[in-house]
Every structure is written in structure tokens, then in C-alpha cells.
Amino acid sequence: MADLTVTLPSADATHQFGYRLGQFLPAGTVLLLEGNLGSGKTTLVQGLGQGLGVTEPIVSPTFTLISEYPEGRIPLYHLDLYRLEPIEVADLHLESYWDGAEFPLGIVAIEWAERLPELPTAYLQITLTPIEQGGRLAQLTANSIEGEAIWQELSALAKQSLKH
């Protein structure tokens, strides 16, 4: 596992960070997004979608649970588990989004991922924490993300984010 902390001084910086992720993350990437209400999870996914080329508006799927955006560079699957208990999450069989059996491989972005009863075998966890000066810290933890090149790209993004 590798860890990286990125300072995102504003909502725009959070959106831009998501946009950059959307430009290079490969199909099959699972993003576990954690943080309190208002910490920037949806803002990050909105940027991610734009980086993938998604043109329709992205909103938090709190009540629909899953939003699918197939029209980008690769599909984006945006899940929100806020209203669910782990037993209810298990009944959704979410692994079908990251195993490629039922849906084309894309990027799976899961808000409130701490409610997953079982973690995927490979993921990038992003924990967003507001800071006093405004903005937020993004703690990234990679678990078996394929390829050293992805981690090097994340490190480069972190350095760019610190300049803004």
C-alpha cells in the first residue's frame, strides 16, 4: 500500500483534481470515497466525470444509489451508499461493476465506501477532510492499483495541486 496526501485549497481545486484523475485512470479503477457530509466527494466525482468526457450533469445519487455515465472515454459508475446499511449494500452485488462480468469496465466511484461489507481486491481510497483554512486534505491510499505509472501520475498531480 502507498499513501499520499494532497492539499486541495478550494472546491475548484477538488474539481480540477478529479478532472485530472478522469484523464488518466484506467478502466477497472475503483475509487472508495470517504469523508463527512460536504467534504467534497461529489465535487471530486463531478471533475472526474468531466475528465472522462461525461457531458451530462453529475449529482450525488443519494436516492437513486447508482448513476451510470457510459458516454465518456470509459464508463463512469457513481454509487452513493449513504442511506444504506452494510447488509443492504451486500444485496446490491456491486462487484458486478468492477469485475467486468455484467457491465463494461470503467471507473467505479463509491461515496460512503465505508459501508461496503467487503472491499474490492484493488482500489484507490480517497478520504477528504475539511481544513480550517478552507479547502480540504485528500488522503489517497492505493491498494494493488495496477502499474507503477498510475502511482507516479498521482504523485505528479499532488505536486501540481500544492502549487495552486
Give pTM, 2 decimals.
0.86
| Residues forming beta bridges with residue 68, ordered by sequence position | 77
The rounded distance, in Å, linking the Cα atoms of 31 and 132 is 26
- Is the C-alpha dihedral spanning 153, 150, 26, 22 positive or negative? negative
Q: Where are the domains of the chain?
A: 2-163
| Class of the domain covering 2-163 | alpha beta
Instruction: Give the model's pLDDT for residue 147.
Output: 45
User: pLDDT by residue (tens digit) across 69-113?
Assistant: 999 999 999 998 887 777 787 777 788 888 888 899 999 999 989
Count of alpha carbons within 13 angstroms of residue 160, beta-carbon side: 13
Alpha helices by DSSP H, listed for the chain, are 11-24, 41-52, 86-90, 95-98, 148-163
